[in-house]
Amino acid sequence: MAVRAIEAVGINKWFGESEPRTHAVKDVNFEANFGEIVYVVGPSGSGKTTMLSMISGILRPNSGTVKIEGTEIWNMSADALADFRLHKIGFVFQDYHLFPRLTTAENVAIPLVLQRRDWDESLAEARRDLEVVGLRDRAQLPPVKLSGGEQQRVAIARAIISRPDIMIFDEPTASLDGETGRNIVQFVREHLLSDKRCIVIVTHDSRIYEFADRILRMEDGRMTGVERSQLNAQ
Amino acid sequence: MPPMSPRLEPGILRIAYKLLVNDRPKFVALLVGITFAVFLMIEMTSLFAGILLRSSSTVINIGSSIWVMDPAVQTVANTIPLPNYVLDEVRSIPGVKYAVPLYSGSALLKLRDGTYQAANVVGLDDTSLVGSPQMVSGNIQDIFAENAFIAVEDSEFYKLGNPHIGTEFELNDHRGRIVALARVASSSLFGVPTLYTTYYRALQYIPNTRFTISYVLVEPKTAADVNTIKARVAADGYLALTRDEFMSKISRFYMYQTGIGTNMLLMTLISFIVGLSISGQTFYTFILENIDRFGALKAIGAKSHELVSMILFQATFVALTGYGFGVGLCALIIWLARAHLPDYAAIITFPNLGLAFAMVVVIAASSSYFGVRRVLVIEPFDIFRG
Ligand SMILES: Nc1ncnc2c1ncn2[C@@H]1O[C@H](COP(=O)(O)OP(=O)(O)O)[C@@H](O)[C@H]1O
Ligand SMILES: [Mg+2]
């Protein structure tokens, strides 16, 4: 059997030292394969962000294992895991966390800069991806001059700039109008997805459901099942 | 602010630089805090260094290697006369190349226009003229002429009415005459002009106590003889100090036995605390304001030591820039003050600069310490969750 992009088994997460503790993610098994886009949907507070953080090396589970490309990530040292995230995973955070003192292009270039790529080269690639998300003319502006939707697109550009194998998007279209949201996810599907990449998207946005290969549902910390499954429809 | 050598530095530091410098209000507040702390500190310590140097001006200007004095002498100006036999005793010590008497005392002058002016009179040994100043005009040999005095063109010279060769005055009802003008290395702290004359004329013109030698100036045959000389003088109940020892004795007196030292120390401490609190606070706020972005960097894959190096770079950059401005400002102010106040005593010494630098390092280190501690504990998940 080919190695899976992501394979999480029996992961749990509690918050709080003492009772009542929040059991945010309960015994979740999750897998995603290369070449597919997996959606995770579910009501707010159901544990989607927590689950996503654990399968992407950001939040250590209380129990369970997570393998990315066959490597058990929670056995790594902090620095090794940071390096792993830097080179393998692209993130869109729920809040975009852009640096207000940097230009939009510099914000987008950050993953490449952290990878110690040449500064000018990184900025050139940042401008290329800003064009992809339709913000070429905003490259020199600080992010605060941009609307919420534009900032979200900047965050998407930052997540995809290093063309990582695994892309983790937490509600990437929440503040986009339907048209823009669809266009971006369509771009992701058509240009970024390949049989060497895997994309996991948490969303509420039914307007983009058509781009998913599988849609999983979470409720109250549990993975309750498959909302919709389609064989790779292209 | 021009970008610094964009090619060489790692991009992470370049980001750190932009985060810092593009936050104009914070950056300016940080710079102002450090600049003023450095300025105050260097200004204070330079003033003090200037005062200390001037308090030893006679020691510097006479230039003798060894000074023999009464053990109770605290400063060069408050002399305690030595009996003549001390001079003979010192001359008899093996290892002494020569030993001569020096007179140093004050006198009241009546200038030509009728005004009175206090002056410091230095009487040089008649046979050797050891300790004579550098001549600006006139000849040192004229010191032997009748009523001859040599005026020193230091910052107090104008108080003698800017005399020239031939100018006459009265000194304790004796006639005095300027026969030459001289220059010395260091002006005195006490704000009175200095006149040189011979030892015997000084004794004749200035009323004296039973003993008359202020100091015995000694030149050892070799440097190895210094300790013997000191021991022999001590055995006689007197004190022999090298020039540097005498100067530090005087410095210690001004530092610890007068209010000057403690006040300077206090001011220096205050400038340090002000600098530390303004800059430390501002820097910490700056880190806190950017904390979620540092967290985002961590989530994306920045390693802890990279975040630490960003913070250290920022702190170092502000500290060094502030230090540069502070030193520059201080040099400018001292230069301006000197141009307008001839008596202004301040010298920027390497220890001053070093002390201020150490202070800046402490400020930068402690500010970044708190910033680093904060950044190291960020949970990227809290950032991820929003
Ligand atoms: N750091 C935390 N401390 C305490 N409770 C938390 C923390 N993070 C998440 N939770 C709780 O865990 C549950 C799941 O949160 P989250 O994963 O953000 O849900 P979703 O992304 O589906 O909206 C919620 O009840 C939330 O309040
Ligand atoms: Mg969420």
**Residue-by-residue DSSP string for A200-230:** EEE---GGGGGG-SEEEEEETTEEEEEEEE-
Query: What 3-state class would DSSP assign to B82?
Result: strand
Tokens of A142: 């600080």
A79/B304 touch (CB, cutoff 8 Å), yes or no? yes
Which of A19, A21, A30, A49 to mutate for ligand 1's pocket (most ligand atoms within 8 Å of CB)? A49
Q: Is the pLDDT of residue B2 over 70?
A: no
Lowest mean pLDDT among A9-18, A121-130, A170-179: A170-179
B384/A53 touch (CB, cutoff 8 Å), yes or no? yes
Give the number of other Cβ atoms within 10 Å of residue A204's Cβ: 13
Q: Does B299 touch chain A (CB under 8 A)?
A: yes
The closest alpha carbon to B195, from B90, B337, B58, belongs to B58
At residue A191, the pLDDT reads 83
Task: Identify all chain A residues contacting B306, using CB atoms and an 8 Å cutoff.
Answer: 114
Please give the residue that has the higher pLDDT: either B265 or A199. A199
- Average pLDDT across chain A, whole number: 90
The closest alpha carbon to A175, from A195, A140, A204, belongs to A204
Tokens of A27: 């015994």
Strand ranges (E), B138-208: 148-152, 168-171, 174-183, 194-198
Q: Cα-flanking dihedrals φ and ψ of residue B176, to 5°?
A: -125, 155
pLDDT tens sequence across A138-168? 999 999 999 888 898 899 899 999 999 999 9
B183 bridge partner residues: B134
Q: What is the ipTM of this complex?
A: 0.90
Q: How far is CA B68 from the centre of its chain?
A: 25
Nearest CA to ligand 1 atom 21: A49
**Correct CATH for A6-233 of 3.40.50.300, 3.100.10.20, 3.30.565.10, 3.40.640.10:** 3.40.50.300
At residue B216, the pLDDT reads 94
Using CA coordinates, name the residue in chain B closest to A90: B300
Amino acid at residue number B152: V
At residue A221, the pLDDT reads 93
Q: Is B24 in the pocket of ligand 1 (CB under 6 A)?
A: no
Q: Is the pLDDT of residue B5 over 50?
A: no
CB B253 within 8 A of CB B336: no
How big is the A-B interface in CB pairs under 8 Å?
97
Report the C-alpha gap between B134 and A134 in whole angstroms: 81
At residue A229, the pLDDT reads 63
- Break chain A into its structural domains and give their ranges: 6-233
Q: What is the mean pLDDT of residues B357-367?
A: 89
CB B292 within 8 A of CB A97: yes
Report the C-alpha gap between B223 and B379 in whole angstroms: 67
Percentage of residues in chain A having pLDDT higher than 70: 96
ω into A20 cis (within 30 of 0):
yes
Nearest CA to ligand 1 atom 5: A15
Task: Kindly give the residue spans of alpha helices, DSSP state H, lying in chain B.
Answer: 11-21, 24-55, 57-62, 84-92, 199-205, 226-235, 243-256, 259-289, 291-300, 304-340, 350-376, 380-385
Task: Identify all chain B residues contacting A58, using CB atoms and an 8 Å cutoff.
Answer: 299, 380-381, 384
Amino acid at residue number B193: P
A101/B23 touch (CB, cutoff 8 Å), yes or no? yes
pLDDT tens sequence across B173-207? 889 999 999 988 888 888 899 999 999 999 989 88
Tokens of B234: 């001590």
Q: What is the mean pLDDT of residues B37-46?
A: 87
- Break chain B into its structural domains and give their ranges: 10-54+259-385, 83-237
Q: Is A45 in the pocket of ligand 1 (CB under 6 A)?
A: yes
- Would the pTM of this model clear 0.80, i.e. be above it? no
Q: Is the dihedral of CA A131, A137, A143, A148 positive or negative?
A: negative
CB B262 within 8 A of CB B50: no
